[in-house]
């Protein structure tokens, strides 16, 4: 890495790996020592975030990073995400970074002595305030945040390919956040160094994403016959999970799901960008499949043969359904017959039997 770096960024020391709460407090102190205009607040957080980003691109520099490099890449990318997204949120309103904004007070805020919101709430609040974060981007952010928590207890669970593919997406999001929301706080003396740093980081992102793209290109002929049952992978974000009746796995990152429900929940969270709570609140998350009757049907899923078209998909039968309608009696989805009945065959049979 060359160029004159921003003070603080790229100090040569390993960025520290504080615990979550300690990290929050450190960030909050750095970002929000004074609830003044957003641009000025963002500056220390931006330096800190850029420092972490340099570390991530160093760690993911080659096509086959070692396990230790992957571990630190996840931790540092997660730290960068927290600093930069929260700085953006604080720029909208400093109260929003509190777990409970209605209880926010300025003294706790200035001393950094308060519980700040988690990453899921940060994303939700940014979206509520008009900041665009797509389901794929939210999925990538969520995957890292889950992986970071698992690392603390169980060690790495995502494969190298999944981490590289997801890291590329998250790095792009963070670059966009910096470009749109954070860089204006830099004073004239440091602006050249900032542009130099960003240029270096920006140049590395396509390379990191490129490893996954290159593997996808190799896989294309193998996946071609299965496009109508190929889902985007909740772990790596690539179109490489061929859903199967028994167990399914990703042909690119080799993440493996033993049960249909495991893939279904991961899909809802990692691809559709739902929170586990939102998903479960929604009537248990899945609907009864008209074919196998199992509660393994999502009414929104996307398949590689028509990647933008929402369809119903049963994760147990591993098959898509088009044109399902809701039964007016039992409210379950069913395939409408040519007769145009708005009642499913079960309800119809039951109704006829009771007549
Ligand atoms: Zn995958
Ligand atoms: Zn089914
Ligand atoms: Zn019915």
Per-residue pLDDT reduced to its tens digit, 81-92: 998 999 888 888
In percent, how much of the chain has pLDDT > 70?
A: 86
Are residues 263 and 166 both part of a single domain? no
Tell me the β-bridge partners of 297.
Answer: 287, 314
**Residues having C-beta closer than 5 Å to ion ligand 2:** 289, 291-292, 314, 316-317
Q: CA-CA distances (angstroms) from residue 167 to 33, 160, 208, 209?
A: 30, 10, 8, 8
Range of the domain at 70: 20-216
Are residues 86 and 154 both part of a single domain? yes
Distance 174 CA to ligand 2 centre (A): 39
Distance 255 CA to ligand 1 centre (A): 6
Of 219 and 191, which is predicted with more confidence?
219
pLDDT of residue 223: 95
3-state secondary structure 101-131: HHHCCHHHHHHCCCCECCHHHHHHHHHHCCC
Are residues 190 and 78 both part of a single domain? yes
Residue 5 within a domain: no
Average pLDDT over residues 231-241: 91
Distance 342 CA to ligand 3 centre (A): 9
Distance 320 CA to ligand 2 centre (A): 9
Global pTM value: 0.70
Average pLDDT over residues 194-198: 85
Are residues 241 and 175 both part of a single domain? no
pLDDT of residue 6: 60
- The band of 242, judged by pLDDT with boundaries at 50, 70 and 90, is very high
pLDDT of residue 39: 42
Are residues 62 and 97 both part of a single domain? yes
Domain ends where: 216, 242, 277? 216
- Residue 75 class from Cβ within 10 Å (0-12 exposed, 13-18 middle, 19+ buried)? buried
Q: State the CB neighbour count (10 A cutoff) for residue 214.
A: 11
Tell me the β-bridge partners of 241.
Answer: 231, 250
CA 61 to chain centre: 22
Are residues 123 and 146 both part of a single domain? yes
Are residues 41 and 147 both part of a single domain? yes
pLDDT over 80 (residue 281)? no
Of 7 and 68, which is predicted with more confidence?
68
Q: What is the mean pLDDT of the chain?
A: 81
Domain ends where: 176, 200, 216? 216
Q: 186 phi and psi, to 5 degrees?
A: -80, 135
- The band of 98, judged by pLDDT with boundaries at 50, 70 and 90, is very high
- The band of 7, judged by pLDDT with boundaries at 50, 70 and 90, is low
Structurally, how many domains does the chain consist of? 2
Are residues 230 and 212 both part of a single domain? no
pLDDT of residue 284: 57
pLDDT over 50 (residue 336)? yes
For 89-101, letters b (16+ CB in 10 Å) and e give bbbbebbbbbeee
CA 282 to chain centre: 20
pLDDT of residue 126: 93
Domain ends where: 216, 241, 276? 216
Residue 264 within a domain: yes
Are residues 134 and 230 both part of a single domain? no
**Which ligand does the CA of 349 lie closest to?**
3
**Which ligand does the CA of 313 lie closest to?**
2
Residue 3 within a domain: no
* Tokens matching residue 301: 């899923």
Are residues 231 and 200 both part of a single domain? no
Q: What is the tens place of the pLDDT at every residue in 253-273?
A: 888 898 888 899 989 988 888
Distance 47 CA to ligand 3 centre (A): 58
5-9, 12-16, 159-163, 281-285: range with highest mean pLDDT: 159-163
């Amino acid at each position: 890495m060359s160029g004159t770096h921003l003070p603080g960024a790229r100090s040569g020391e390993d960025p520290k790996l504080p615990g979550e709460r300690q990290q929050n407090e450190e960030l909050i102190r750095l970002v929000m020592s004074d609830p003044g205009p957003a641009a000025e607040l963002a500056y220390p957080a931006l330096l800190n975030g850029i420092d972490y980003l340099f570390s991530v691109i160093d760690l993911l520099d080659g096509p086959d990073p070692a396990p230790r490099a992957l571990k630190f890449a996840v931790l540092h990318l997660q730290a960068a995400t927290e600093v930069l997204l929260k700085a953006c949120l604080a720029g909208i309103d400093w109260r929003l970074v509190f777990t409970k904004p209605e209880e926010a007070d300025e003294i706790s805020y200035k001393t950094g002595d308060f519980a700040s919101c988690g990453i899921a709430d940060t994303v939700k609040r940014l979206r509520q305030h008009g900041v665009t974060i797509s389901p794929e981007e939210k999925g990538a952010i969520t995957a890292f945040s889950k992986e970071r928590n698992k690392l603390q207890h169980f060690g790495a669970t995502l494969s190298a390919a999944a981490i590289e593919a997801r890291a590329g997406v998250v790095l792009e999001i963070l670059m966009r956040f910096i470009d749109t929301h954070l860089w204006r706080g830099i004073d004239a003396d440091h602006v050249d160094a900032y542009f130099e740093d960003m240029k270096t980081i920006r140049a590395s992102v396509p390379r990191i994403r490129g490893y996954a793209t290159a593997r996808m290109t190799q896989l294309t002929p193998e996946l071609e016959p299965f496009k109508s049952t190929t889902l985007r992978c909740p772990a790596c974000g690539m179109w490489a999970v061929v859903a199967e009746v028994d167990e399914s796995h990703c042909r690119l990152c080799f993440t493996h799901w033993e049960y249909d429900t495991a893939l279904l929940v991961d899909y809802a969270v990692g691809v559709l960008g739902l929170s586990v709570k939102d998903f479960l609140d929604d009537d248990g998350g899945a609907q009864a499949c008209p074919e196998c009757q199992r509660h393994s049907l999502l009414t929104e899923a996307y398949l590689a043969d028509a990647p933008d078209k929402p369809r119903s998909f049963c994760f147990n039968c591993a098959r898509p359904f088009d044109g399902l309608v809701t039964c007016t009696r039992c409210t379950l989805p069913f395939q409408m017959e040519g007769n145009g009945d708005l009642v499913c065959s079960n309800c119809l049979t039951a109704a006829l039997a009771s007549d």
